[in-house]
Amino acid sequence: MSTATAPAPAPTRRRTPRQGPAKTWSDTLTLTRRNLRHMAREPFEPAIALSMPVLMVLLFGYVFGGVMSPTGDEAEYRAMLVPAMIAMVMFYGIAGTATGVARDTSLAVMSRFRTLPMSPAALLWARVLTDMLRAVVEIALLLGVGLLLGWRVESDPAGALAAIALLLLFRLSLVCAGVLLGLVVPNPDAASMLIYPLAFPMTVLSTSFVPAQAMPDWLAPVAEWNPVSSLVTAARELFGNPSLPSDAWPAEHAVLVAAVVPLLLMVVVVPLALRRFARLGR
Amino acid sequence: MAQPTPPTPPAPAVHAEGLTKRYGAVRALDGLDLHAEPGTVLALLGPNGAGKTTAVRTLTTLTAPDTGWARIHGLDTVARGDEVRARIGLTGQYATVDELLTGRENLEMFARLHGMTATAARGRAEDLLTEFDLTDAADRGAATYSGGMRRRLDLAVSLLREPDVLFLDEPTTGLDPRSRMGVWESVAELVRGGTTVLLTTQYLEEADRLADRVTVIDHGRAVADGTPDDLRARVGGLRLDVAVHDPADLGRAAELLGGALGAAPTVDTRGLRVGVPVTDRVQALFRAARALEDMGPRIADLDVRRPSLDEVFLSLTGHATAPAETDGTTVGATR
């Protein structure tokens, strides 16, 4: 107000912030914090994803335990269910990933992100980081539940860590798949609608709860070759827990299958997701 | 920051030529040219579907034009998108704040994404909360904000980095009159501080009130461009308007006026008005008053006025501006 004619702002008034890995990493952390706040303020989805498998285990462990247990020892059967329960929670998390991505990319917020001097891919990295942090918390909580149910690590710490690593690797591949799914579905609601009907059969149609021999002949191979079966079997082995008897190839090489399948899945879905993301809104 | 080689002459703040963009069979932009000097307000005026939002999306690097180019302070929006993004702010048609975060968290998050340090982000957020009268609501979730508060927060977010050019896509659509005034005051304040503003609107009053220049858009191209006064002049000069109470008097008033002023009157039967184009304001008033004297109290109003931007728009495009309905296209929601 002191000068009569304000000079027009020089175009160089704003320096361009440096872009690069450091800025992308800092953006990823900023957005991860936002995602964690979202989760704390809308805890419905994580609560469902966590409670469903716990309820399943309680149902199988206590209600059906007497008839389901292959050895007739109900306590042993319940211990056997704990790795299955964790694998289920890892799977159910895919709904949260897909919903989160669909929400970020369909909301008007996305256009604001894209007019900022930031790497839009930080949105995806933040999603991955958030959901992996969530997975770690979930595993810790579920192991606590397991201890209450009488489950114990019966191998050694190295084995237990290896089991947890396999579970997290499995989750990582599903997070990547969830990102792709979230980019493809038309809206956030569709994401969760799709996932639960997918996650439920994928986790139950396995050798998580009952041995394959108890299934009809045509179904047994489906359950045996379901990667979830290999993951659960591998986790049981590594934790030193009893396993359901099986002589199928994926069960005998459970650790190998549980390590390779997630890697294969990621090789397929990660490039697809990145390509899809780059083309959004163009 | 001294610039090694100052550009001569300085580039316009917003400059676009021949922009085209098709979405399937729809030509959203069809050879649009735009131009705004630094420190001025350019209004893009047009009905729904005229291409205003697509124009903003193109200028803000959200979408690339099929042909043509756009530059912000001389920087191409496609080739130098990062540099453009560092200089612009965008407030979309619908607020794009994060509803699950509080007002303060929104500002701090976006400030961090702009590359500010945590301390700088906190300070800037506090300043903007005060400036936009959001201090009391700062720690409430944005989902609980009223429409006007949300828009103010959105505007504050676009101003975090003091952009050289601010884009406002229908900044007051859906706001009550008081909130609208609030947004107008904020914009006027920014322009006084030297910011260039490009706004889209279908409210002619808004363009009239805020803009130095108005570009009228229809079917994806500019159909007229100039100051609000230029545009009025293009449609014609002064009009003498007579209003009556009773529709039965319209015919007689038209006859008397036409005779007294020597021009063909237009009769608006719904508005109960008769209008005649005139050149000399004072002479026209004298003649009309004398001619209508006998009708006395049957005349409700007699005035000489300049055409409104509504009339300008109508005559430029052949159709009226649409009522304030949205057509489902927003800056944000397009995937």
Please tell me the total count of domains within chain A. Answer: 1
B113 vs A contacts (CB less than 8 Å): 27, 30-31, 113, 116, 118
Q: Cα A43 to the chain's mean position, in Å?
A: 16
Q: What residue of B is the nearest CA neighbor of A184?
A: B335
Chain B residue with Cα closest to A105? B335
* Closest chain A residue by Cα to residue B64: A282
**β-pair partners for B42:** B198, B213
Position B89 in a domain: yes
Residue A115 has its nearest CB partner, among B88, B100, B194, at B88
Tell me: do B153 and B258 sit in the same domain. no
Identify whether the C-beta of residue A176 lies closer than 8 Å to the C-beta of residue A269. Answer: yes
Residue B310, domain member (yes or no): no
Chain B residue with CA closest to A277: the answer is B335
Give the mutation candidate from A115, A130, A183, A279 for the B interface (greatest B CB count, under 10 A): A115
Which range of A16-25, A94-103, B63-72 scores highest in mean pLDDT? It is B63-72
SS3 B14: strand
Q: Within a domain: residue B6?
A: no
Q: What does the mean pLDDT of chain B come to?
A: 84
* Cα dihedral A114, A116, A119, A120 sign: negative
Query: Predicted ipTM?
Result: 0.82
Query: Is A99 within the bounds of a domain?
Result: yes
Residues whose CB falls within 8 Å of the CB of residue B279, separated by 6 or more in sequence, listed in order = B237, B238
Question: Does A108 score more than 80 pLDDT?
Answer: no
Residues linked to residue B239 through DSSP beta bridges, in sequence order: B277, B305
Please indicate, yes or no, if residue A177 is contained in any of the structural domains: yes
User: What does pLDDT average to over chain A?
Assistant: 85
User: A176 or A64: whose pLDDT is higher?
Assistant: A176
- Give yes or no: residues B213 and B266 share one domain: no
B296 and B228 fall within a common domain: no
In A42-61, the residues whose Cβ lies within 8 Å of chain B are 42
Residues B45 and B166 placed together within one structural domain of the fold: yes
The answer on pLDDT for B313 being more than 90 is no
Domain membership of residue A204 (yes or no) is yes
B323 located within any domain:
no
Residue A116 token pair: 């900022």
HSE, side-chain direction, 13 A CA sphere, residue A211: 15
Domain of residue B188, CATH code: 3.40.50.300
Evaluate whether residue B292 is within a structural domain.
Answer: yes
pLDDT in tens, B101-128: 999 999 999 999 988 999 999 999 999 9
Full domain range(s) for residue A225: 21-279
For residue B303, what pLDDT band results from cuts at 50, 70 and 90? confident
pLDDT at A2 over 70: no
Q: Is the pLDDT of residue B255 over 50?
A: yes
Strand order in the sheet with B14-23: B26-36, B14-23, B67-72, B75-76
- B140 and B257 within one domain: no
Same domain, B170 and B49: yes
Question: For residues A185 and A107, which has the higher predicted lDDT (pLDDT)?
Answer: A185
Does any domain span residue A4?
A: no
Task: Decide if A150 is inside a domain.
Answer: yes
pLDDT at A203 exceeding the cut of 50: yes
For residues A259-278, give the mean pLDDT.
Answer: 93
A216 part of contact set with chain B, CB < 8 Å: no
The verdict on residue A13 lying in a domain is no
Residues B225 and B197 both lie in one domain: yes
Most confident of A192-196, A253-257, B1-5, B288-292: A253-257
Does residue B142 sit in the same domain as residue B73?
A: yes
pLDDT band at A9 (very low <50, low <70, confident <90, very high): very low
**Are B210 and B246 contained in the same domain?**
no
- Residue B283, both tokens: 């002479």
- The parent domain of residue B23 ranges over 14-232
Listed ranges B22-26, B103-107, B189-193, B275-279; the one with the highest mean pLDDT: B103-107
Do residue B212 and residue B139 come from a single domain? yes
Residue B328 lies in a domain: no
Residue A1 lies in a domain: no
Same domain for B242 and B192, yes or no, is no
Sign of CA dihedral B205, B211, B213, B218: negative
Q: Is the peptide bond before B9 cis (omega within 30 degrees of 0)?
A: yes
> A-chain residues within 8 Å CB-CB of B38?
8-9
CA distances from A108 to A80, A104, B145 (A): 46, 8, 17
Contact A195, A143 (CB under 8 A): no
- For position A10, what pLDDT does the model report? 43
Report the SS3 class of residue A15.
coil
- 8 A C-beta contact, residue B14 and residue B72: yes
Pair B46, B106 in one domain? yes
What is the CATH number for B250?
A: 3.30.70.100
pLDDT tier for residue B167 given thresholds of 50, 70 and 90: very high
Amino acid in position B251: G
- Per the domain annotation, does A39 fall within a domain? yes
- Structural domain tally of chain B? 2
- For the cut 90, the answer to whether the pLDDT of residue B215 exceeds it is yes
In the numeric block, the tokens 């449609």 are attached to B235
